[in-house]
Amino acid sequence: MIRTCAHCGARNRMPAARLADEGRCGACRQALAPPSEPLDVDEDTFDEVVDGARVPVLVDFWATWCGPCMAMAPAVAQTAAAMSGRAIVLKVDTERNPELAARFAVRSIPYFVVFKNGEEFAQHVGAVDFSHLQAWIETAIRS
């Protein structure tokens, strides 16, 4: 994964296993905070993060034409901010990544999957609120 330093703009390579950790910019040595927003990923990045993450990963399968998906975007972003450093939130656009959607048999969106240690932990079809998204991750953390 590439993370951009908020201080100097340098691009820093971060292994997926360390993505939820605070790092240091290689250029200016300032702190690189864990992601606090959902990460839009393709198939390669998805596999790298899900397989390598040491924290739970919440994946939001969505599309731009999907009204409920767009309505869920603020709750997904809120979850990423609230769980920063404790979980990673990914967004997979099913229109741009149909093979990834097919791999998980996504037939209706929004579709949420929580992964822990590279394995599916929980899944849900349909819109929910922030408290449900956060609860799924908390349950994965505790188990």
Q: What is the pLDDT of residues 8-17, one digit of tens each?
A: 999 999 998 8
H/E stretch holding 61 reads strand 57-62
- Catalytically active residues are 66, 69
Using CA atoms, how far apart are residues 13 and 36, in angstroms rounded to an integer?
17
Closest among 66, 51, 59, 130 to 91, alpha carbons compared: 59
Say how far apart CA 34 and CA 114 lie, in whole Å.
18
pLDDT of residue 1: 85
What pLDDT score was predicted for residue 102?
97
Percent of the chain with pLDDT over 70: 100
Tokens of 95: 């229109």
Q: Read off the pTM.
A: 0.93
Count of beta carbons in the 10 Å neighbourhood of residue 55: 20
Domain boundaries, the chain: 35-142
* Nearest one of 110, 123, 109 to 58, comparing CA atoms: 123
| 71-98 pLDDT per residue, tens | 999 999 999 999 999 999 999 999 999 9
35-142: CATH superfamily: Glutaredoxin (3.40.30.10)
58 pairs with which residues across the strands?
89, 114
52 by Cβ neighbours in 10 Å (0-12 / 13-18 / 19+) ranks as middle
CA–CA separation, 102 and 95 (whole Å): 11
Type of residue found at 104? F
